[in-house]
Amino acid sequence: MTELKAGDAGQSRLRVILAASVGSALEWYDFFLYGTAAALVFGELFFPKSDPVVGTLLAFLTFGVGFVVRPLGGILFGIMGDRYGRKPVLVATLLMIGVGTTAIGLLPTYAQIGIWAPLLLVAMRVVQGLGAGAEYGGAVIYLVENAPRRHRGFWGGFAPLGVSVGNLLAAGAFALVTMLPREAMMSWGWRLPFLASFLLIVVGIFVRMRVAETPVYTEAVVARGKIERNPAMEALRQHPRNFLVVLGARMAENGLGYFFPVFGLSYVITTVGVPRSEALSALMLAFTIELFAILGFAALSDRIGRRPVYLFGALAGVALAFPFFWMVGTKEWIWIAIAFILARAVVTAAMFGPQAAYFAELFPPQRRFAGFAFARELGSLLAGGPAPFVATALVAAYGSWWPVACYAMFLSLCTVIAVWIGPETYREDIAADEPVVQHDLPVAMPQRA
């Protein structure tokens, strides 16, 4: 079967990239903003009767609530994306996270309404989580289904690039408000980054409303009458191994992706005793370098395959687990920056870059959105959601960082095993009704035109 050509929908490549990556950046600005706030202020504002450690644990627990509902969002919006199209779901998920985030910026604190404050915080986190459950998958699929055949990895890399931009914006927003006097920041300053998301969401909606449906969905699903009633369950039933590969591949990428910037930031500030401004500046530098690394690793996966690049990132996660804590323990800014750079621009970027195209290629077009989003977000529930909470609890229980390093190694090894037994996909026809996968690691060889 001949794969559909990119650009058949009559829209420019720049518009396609902007619709996915800009929207993804704005959505994940909102989602990561909560993680930064949980590390820095939510423990005191919403759980003040607890001691500092317990308050941070509770804040990270509410952070994990968003991950609990993400698989539900993945199933719900994934089914809609396979039945009604990619574009309307991209608009809906953007609105959900935007509303949830803006509302957090308006919430009264525990001192004002008592127990209702953390309850409302959890409710808004649920709204965020439902939207996030399909946002990234939708952005990735939109890019990959519009991409030239031999450059799907590079094009898909713009979605995780958007996530990193969202990371950078969230860290930058809190870096600015931490410059305020402490009383002002804890009173009203922390709200500003959340309220600012409303304007960002307006921009994202404007961009996404101006794009067309993907040519793969239009011609390989709608025109061929391949729409399924429950594509999520069909993806699980028809492609169980690929489903499990996505779950396992998410353990290190998602777990360490939240472990280093969320728990790591809290650990460096609270336990090591580094000033907030220094810790945030080191993290922001890492996010900036990661932007280029993601596209580099994504493009590399177009040449040598998805699996070798992904395996490199997971193995690097094993290697960095203990050195990360040695470096941040020096309290020297340069070593803290290097630790975050290695964690984000090497470990996470090497997995995050090729992941977009890899996961999309594991499922056929009629069940791609639901299979991708459901499996990926179930992995988020198992890895990313618990990671900051588990890491903080381990430090509190053992009084040392070494159990946390072992936990990071465990997540990385899970991913190594999953990707090693998974198929290679970078030469596949993504418009085919069923994926035809290769089971060995690829070797350098010319690709078909």
Residue 205 CB neighbour total at 10 angstroms: 17
Tokens of 28: 């994940």
The pTM for the full model equals: 0.80
Calpha distance 238→46 (Å, rounded): 45
Decide: helix, strand or coil at residue 94.
helix
CB distance 174 to 36 below 8 Å: yes
Task: Name which of 347, 372, 362 is nearest 136 in CA terms.
Answer: 372
pLDDT at 7: 46
CB distance 280 to 40 below 8 Å: no
pLDDT at 280: 85
Residue 180 CB neighbour total at 10 angstroms: 15
Calpha distance 442→449 (Å, rounded): 17
pLDDT at 64: 66
pLDDT at 324: 94
Calpha distance 35→261 (Å, rounded): 9
Residue whose pair of structure tokens reads 């499996």 in the numeric block: 375
Tokens of 141: 């699929």
Segments of the chain with pLDDT less than 50: 1-10, 438-449
CB distance 94 to 201 below 8 Å: yes
Q: What is the dihedral of CA 344, 345, 348, 351, to 10 degrees?
A: 170
Calpha distance 369→80 (Å, rounded): 9
Task: Name which of 249, 166, 201 is nearest 90 in CA terms.
Answer: 201
pLDDT at 49: 65
Calpha distance 357→359 (Å, rounded): 6
